[in-house]
With several copies, the nearest count.
Chain A
Amino acid sequence: MSDFTPNEMMTIAAARALRNDDVCFVGIGAPSAACNVARLTHAPGITLIYESGTIGTAPEVLPLSIGDGELCETALCTVSVPEMFRYWLMGGRISIGFLGAAQLDRFGNINTTVIGDYAHPKVRLPGGGGAPEIATSCGEIFITLKQAKRAMVDKIDFFTSFGHGEGGDHRQRLGITTKGPTLLITDLALWRPDPESKEFTVTSLHRGVTREMVQDNCGWPVRFAAELEETPAPTELELGTLRDLQARTEAAHQGGRRG
């Protein structure tokens, strides 16, 4: 495909990272689109779980909230929210957890709580929701983020969820046994943690993206892998699937409008 947006590339790259036997804890927005594109293309057997309690959902349209009726109607089953967090998330049954970020640092630590001081914030953000335990209970964490200097910062204002902390073996030192962030998918590139330092390192640039563009939209000095790949452009199937999904979604969300 010749024509695609950076957001489309981000979503499709995230979809590709998912395997047929993954069990994903899905968030709203890019993760939801990515997980469903994966399900509708190469990973029909993937299990999608939304924290509202729906297990094994297969929505026709993307939900606006994590608890839309569509999720329940297409799910294998729907459990209570306490059960979701106890047996399914903290029970260690999720292979991939998706997180977004208002602020992200180079070690995959995430802030979605406040900009500024906690007690007197400049901006009060929604907060962590499930993120503190998603970050430590899922087998691996994938982060999706539209790159911007104010989002990718040297020091985040608040540790809403823990990534690799100060890097290295910081997770193990806290007794956390899961892998943490293993992939960062932005609208410009794919990033993976350095095996030793755990600092996010660009391993693949999306088509048409330069190193400078990545650095210009990141608040820390970017490390690039020795062998830098180009992310394959979306295939017709991938892009068609994503756009169809979004068109169906838009049509559905227009509905139900009253005067």
Chain B
Amino acid sequence: MAEFLALSDAVARHLKAGDTVAFEGFTHLIPHAAAHEAIRQGIGELTLLRMTPDIIYDQMIGMGLARTVIFSYAGNPGVGLLRRMRDAIENAYPRAIETIEHSHSAMAQAYEAGASGLPLAVFRGYKGADLPRVNPAIKSITCPFTGEALAAIPAHRPDVTFIHAQKASEKGDVLIEGIIGVQKEAALAARRVVVTVEEVVPSFKGLHPNLTILPHWTIDAIAVVPGGAHPSYTHGYYARDNAAYLDWDRISADREAFSSWMQSNVLDVGPEVFAARVESLR
């Protein structure tokens, strides 16, 4: 049952050191505020699960909070490489991390399998590719009807999933629209679900019947954080801060610049700063 909490309480209550956690969002609706709160609370030894670990995972890895990253594309979207993640993999700085790598298709279907209560996802994939050689979690099954060998991977079942969404109703139902990504699946696959939202509205009455909604009984905690996706965007609320993504390439290229940026922009502030960050993007 969805409980409305301050973000700090929602994170403290639902994210534990050592958890497997997904902060999902496919370019749109990336839960930056929630990830920053996790960083402030210093919750470590995490297994980070996400199709596109971008800035927030670069930040968590750079702060030494990740033990393992399960992913399919580790880039700064539209800009280039993730320099803190590279530093961890290439130079074990600030610590070594384990990587478990899949394709997008595999990751999306592993979430879907998790949401469906299945132990695995089965699909036609990875043919001729090298990932099955380096990721022992990629196995194969034989179709009993055609004899074809199909890829099989374990379902994703995160301990907790964090997502950002447009609206919650007063009951705690959550509405996601626009590029909806894999958030519904990531939420339904998880044991616990925490959602940050732009705003709370009395109800969703009168909305289109086929919108993407997570009922309140699928959610554990909701925190209202206007601007909470910045520098990602929230469809209908504010635009993507492309400049911030370009900036990140420079900031993350240097260990010192990174540390000082994290200190002043994450550790020394609270979730309330996000509202101001999106003001000029509305």
Interface residues of A (CB under 8 A from B): 21, 23, 28, 47, 51-56, 63-69, 71-73, 75-82, 84-87, 89-93, 113, 118-119, 121-133, 135-137, 158-162, 165, 170-171, 174-176, 253-258
**What are 12 A-B residue pairs whose CB atoms fall within 8 Å in the complex?**
A23-B217, A68-B240, A71-B179, A73-B209, A80-B212, A82-B111, A91-B115, A123-B86, A124-B85, A137-B117, A159-B128, A253-B243
CB contact list, B228-247 vs A, under 8 A: 233, 235, 239-243, 245
CB contact list, B44-91 vs A, under 8 A: 51-52, 71-75, 77-79, 81-82, 85-86, 89-90
Question: How many chain B residues touch A (Cβ–Cβ < 8 Å)?
Answer: 74
CB contact list, B20-43 vs A, under 8 A: 26-28
- Name which of B82, B118, B179 has the most chain A CB atoms within 10 A of its CB: B179
Q: Are A63 and B215 in contact (CB under 8 A)?
A: no
Q: Which of B115, B149, B179, B243 contacts A72 (CB 8 A)?
A: B179
Q: Are A65 and B78 in contact (CB under 8 A)?
A: yes
Residue of B nearest to A52 (CB): B179
Residue of B nearest to A170 (CB): B128
Q: What 9 additional pairs, Cβ within 8 angstroms, besides A67-B27, A69-B233, A91-B188?
A: A67-B181, A71-B179, A80-B182, A132-B103, A132-B105, A136-B127, A136-B128, A162-B127, A256-B239
Task: Please tell me if B280 contacts chain A, counting CB pairs below 8 Å.
Answer: yes
Task: Please tell me if B258 contacts chain A, counting CB pairs below 8 Å.
Answer: no
- Name which of B130, B213, B241, B281 has the most chain A CB atoms within 10 A of its CB: B130
A173 to chain B, nearest CB (A): 10
Chain B residues whose C-beta falls within 8 Å of the C-beta of A131 in the assembled complex: 103
Q: Are B127 and A68 in contact (CB under 8 A)?
A: no
- Name which of B117, B127, B279 has the most chain A CB atoms within 10 A of its CB: B127
B236 to chain A, nearest CB (A): 9
Task: Please tell me if B180 contacts chain A, counting CB pairs below 8 Å.
Answer: yes
A254 to chain B, nearest CB (A): 7
Q: Are B218 and A93 in contact (CB under 8 A)?
A: yes
Q: Which of B77, B109, B178 contacts A86 (CB 8 A)?
A: B109
A145 to chain B, nearest CB (A): 17
Task: Please tell me if B204 contacts chain A, counting CB pairs below 8 Å.
Answer: yes
Chain B residues whose C-beta falls within 8 Å of the C-beta of A92 in the assembled complex: 117
B5 to chain A, nearest CB (A): 19
Residue of A nearest to B85 (CB): A124
Chain B residues whose C-beta falls within 8 Å of the C-beta of A128 in the assembled complex: 72-73, 101, 103-104, 129, 131
Chain A residues whose C-beta falls within 8 Å of the C-beta of B117 in the assembled complex: 90-92, 137
Residue of B nearest to A84 (CB): B108
- For the complex of A and B, 7 pairs with smallest distance between CB atoms: A67-B27, A162-B128, A126-B75, A129-B73, A65-B77, A64-B78, A159-B130
B58 to chain A, nearest CB (A): 12
Q: Are B240 and A64 in contact (CB under 8 A)?
A: yes
Q: Are A132 and B217 in contact (CB under 8 A)?
A: no
A161 to B132, CA, bound (A): 12
Residue of B nearest to A156 (CB): B130
A161 to chain B, nearest CB (A): 6
A123 to B91, CA, bound (A): 10
Chain A residues whose C-beta falls within 8 Å of the C-beta of B86 in the assembled complex: 123-124
Assuming A67-B27, A131-B103, is B243 touching A256 (CB within 8 A)? yes
